[in-house]
Amino acid sequence: MRLILNLIWLVLCGFWMALGYVLAGVICCVLIVTIPFGLASFRIASFALWPFGRRIVDRPSAGAPSLIGNIVWILVAGIWLAIGHVVTGAALCITIIGIPLGLANFKLIPVSLMPLGTVIVPVD
C-alpha cells in the first residue's frame, strides 16, 4: 500500500514539492553561512519525494543553535514552503482518494517550518 501511495504522491505533488526544496537548498548552498540550511532542505526534499513509510523525529541533542537556525529558516524559506504544503494539501483533500495524500502534505508542514533538529527515520 505504501508503494501505491508513494507513486500517486510522486505524480500528483511529490515531484513539485521536492523541486521546491531542492531550489531552496541550492539557494542556501550558494552562501557558505547557510550551507546547513541547504543540507536540511535536501534531506527534506527526499522525504517530500517519497514520504510514506518514513516519519520525522525530533533530535534530543539539538539545542539553541537549531532554534536560532529554525527562526532564520522560517523567515527565509520555511513560510513559503509551508504555504505550498497547505495549498497542495487542501487541493488534494477535495477528493476522497486524495485525502491520505493531503494529510501527508499537512504532516510535512512542521518540518518545512523547522527542519533543523529533526531526523527522518523509517516507520518500521
pLDDT in tens, 103-123: 989 988 998 898 888 888 888
Tell me, yes or no, whether 58 lies in a domain. Answer: no
Distance CA 6, CA 18 (A): 13
Write down the pTM of the prediction: 0.84
pLDDT in tens, 46-77: 998 988 888 888 887 877 888 888 898 898 88
Mean pLDDT rounded to a whole number for the chain: 88
Distance CA 119, CA 59 (A): 6
| Single-letter residue type at 10 | L
Task: Identify the domain containing residue 45 by its residue range.
Answer: 2-53+63-116
Tell me, yes or no, whether 6 lies in a domain. Answer: yes
Tell me, yes or no, whether 101 lies in a domain. Answer: yes
Burial zone of 33 (CB within 10 Å; 0-12 exposed, 13-18 middle, 19+ buried): exposed
Tell me, yes or no, whether 123 lies in a domain. Answer: no
- Domain tally, the chain: 1
DSSP 8-state secondary structure symbol assigned to residue 75: I
